[in-house]
Amino acid sequence: APAVPGAGPAPAADKMVVEFEVVTPSGLSVTVDNGPPAFARLFQPGERQRVEADREVLLDLANAGAVRMAINGRQAKPLGKDGERQRARITRENVTAFLD
């Protein structure tokens, strides 16, 4: 089958894929598998980011209500309200607690 333009490479089957979309300005820092931050910056509305992890994804959100998230293609629950700072640790063991 032809590749879908802009779809990017498919993740390995054993990876945890977390996708973020920012709806109002927010600082977002993400660390994957105990490495250095994958990114840590101010995001503007409409910006998207995606990470793949083997074990865990650590999140630090300056405005939890501003960030929408999907994990392995499924919509995740909001991590907090507008203006609320939140930190979260998503692992293979607790991932279902974050899903809608």
pTM, whole model, 2 decimals?
Answer: 0.83
Q: Is the pLDDT of residue 61 over 50?
A: yes
d(CA 51, CA 17): 6
Q: Is the pLDDT of residue 79 over 50?
A: yes
Residue 10: per-residue pLDDT: 53
Alpha helices in 1-100 (DSSP H): 95-98
Tokens of 91: 């692992």
